[in-house]
Amino acid sequence: MNVASIVQVLATAAWLLVGGAVVFGVMTAARGGKLGAVIPLVIGAVVFAIVLSATAAGLVFVQPEERAIVISALQPKGYRTQALEPGLQWIVPFMENTQTYTISRRTYTMSAVAQEGQKAGDDAIQARTKDGQQVSIDASVIYSIDPAKIIDLHIAWQSRYEDGLVRPSVRGIIRDIVSQYSVEEVVSTKRVQMEKEITDSIALSFKDNSLLLAQFVMRDVHFSKEYAAAVEQKQIAEQQAQQAALVVQSKKQEAEQARQVAQGKADATVIASEAEGKAKIIQAEAEAKSRLVQADAEAKALKLLADQLKNNPELLQYTYVQKLGDKVQVMLVPSGSPYLFQLPDAATKAVTTPATPAK
């Protein structure tokens, strides 16, 4: 309870005291008593009540979230040009009174859900899009009174600003801007842009009428049953198309995997063939080198042998005899040969062939 309220209570009590004093005086007079002592009591009570009433009428306590407009019979325009700030304020008793306004933020909601908004029943905003589709929009505006323009608001709207300004201006702006977009843009592609345009337009309208817009909220968008069914069919078709695309993609992946497997086998065959060819080349080169080495060794051996034969001619015949088999029993020696060979077994094992008689 603030000071102004306390003074008002005291003033009420004083007037009750005045009433009690008057009743007491009447009862005293009825019993034939003297009123000399009662009259001063009544006069004192009346004066005290008047003072308290005047004080209570002149004191105004303004809450922190409020501003007070002073309606004055002493001002040329009928009101003070400055609103009363929060705290305990003084006005001229019985010549001025106040009208308080709350400057804290408030929310005004228009919704299709019953009891959700300020109006009972379906209060959604009905609008038509650029392509002729009917949409129903649930929306809320969060706003407050501009403290610097509260007197202008009082003069223009008084306490009617919510029903007379906020509601019709918001609904009209939403309808106008929605009509500039197609239903698909309202739903998805340009919804953010549309909300920004609505917010800017409402903020400008409120500013011109002493209000401040804190936030615009487009809560929901509803469509006609026909359009909802068409959207559902479209979504089903898109899902089917996506599934078909996934099947095609899967087949492509399987084909690509098969191609990669075949390519891998082909690459492996090529690599194996190349490795085999290289191995054969290496083997052939090794054999060729081996033959070259062998041929070189044989050439060197023949050269050494030739040198030896040149110096020792008899070595050739000796080598020839050494190569003869053990079973050789008859040897033909050229006539005039200077060499003699001892063949002891030849004489003992010789077979005499009978001479054929001449005819």
Give the helix/strand (H/E) hosting 305.
helix 225-311
Say if CB 78 and CB 95 are below 8 A apart: no
Does residue 11 lie within any of the structural domains? yes
**Each residue's pLDDT tens digit in the chain (359 positions)?**
566 778 778 778 878 877 877 777 777 777 766 666 667 777 877 888 888 888 888 888 999 999 999 999 999 999 999 999 999 899 998 899 999 999 999 999 999 888 888 888 888 999 999 988 889 999 999 999 999 999 999 999 999 999 999 999 999 999 999 999 998 888 888 999 999 999 999 999 999 999 999 999 999 988 877 776 766 677 667 777 887 788 888 888 888 888 888 888 888 887 877 888 788 888 888 888 887 888 787 777 777 777 777 777 766 666 766 666 666 555 555 555 555 555 555 444 444 444 444 44
Boundary (domain end) residue, out of 273, 294, 315: 294
Structure tokens at 6: 């306390």
Q: Are residues 86 and 170 in the same domain?
A: no
Say if CB 210 and CB 150 are below 8 A apart: yes
Q: Are residues 8 and 80 in the same domain?
A: yes
Report the sign of the C-alpha dihedral through residues 30, 36, 41, 47, in that order: positive
From the list 56, 52, 59, 68, the residue with the least C-alpha distance to 90 is 59
Q: CA 150, CA 155: separation in Å to the nearest integer?
A: 9
The whole domain housing 19 covers: 3-100
Does residue 27 lie within any of the structural domains? yes
Q: Are residues 198 and 282 in the same domain?
A: no
Helix, coil or strand: residue 111:
coil
Boundary (domain end) residue, out of 170, 190, 223: 223
Q: Are residues 92 and 35 in the same domain?
A: yes
Q: Are residues 218 and 266 in the same domain?
A: no
Q: pLDDT (tens digit, 9 = 90+) per residue, 88-114? A: 899 998 899 999 999 999 999 999 888
Q: Are residues 79 and 120 in the same domain?
A: no
Structure tokens at 313: 């001619």
Question: Residue for token digits 């390519």?
Answer: 263
Does residue 152 lie within any of the structural domains? yes
Does residue 259 lie within any of the structural domains? yes
Boundary (domain end) residue, out of 50, 69, 100: 100
Q: How many structural domains is the chain composed of?
A: 3
Q: Are residues 115 and 205 in the same domain?
A: yes
Q: CA 80, CA 76: separation in Å to the nearest integer?
A: 9
Q: Are residues 285 and 264 in the same domain?
A: yes
Q: Are residues 217 and 114 in the same domain?
A: yes
Q: Are residues 163 and 57 in the same domain?
A: no
Helix, coil or strand: residue 343:
coil
**Assessment of whether the complete model's pTM goes beyond 0.75:** no
Q: How crowded is residue 229: how many other Cβ atoms within 10 Å of its Cβ?
A: 11
Q: What is the phi/psi pair of residue 94, to 5°?
A: 65, -5
Does residue 235 lie within any of the structural domains? no
Q: pLDDT (tens digit, 9 = 90+) per residue, 189-225? A: 899 999 999 999 999 999 999 999 999 999 998 887 7
Q: Are residues 213 and 110 in the same domain?
A: yes
Structure tokens at 285: 């080169």
Does residue 358 lie within any of the structural domains? no
Tell me the CATH number at 130: 3.30.479.30
Please return the burial class of 182, using the count of CB atoms within 10 Å of its CB with bins 0-12, 13-18 and 19+. Answer: middle
Using the 8-state DSSP alphabet, how is residue 36 labeled?
T
Does residue 52 lie within any of the structural domains? yes
Q: Are residues 73 and 17 in the same domain?
A: yes
DSSP string computed for 208-238:
TTTEEEEEEEEEEEEE-HHHHHHHHHHHHHH
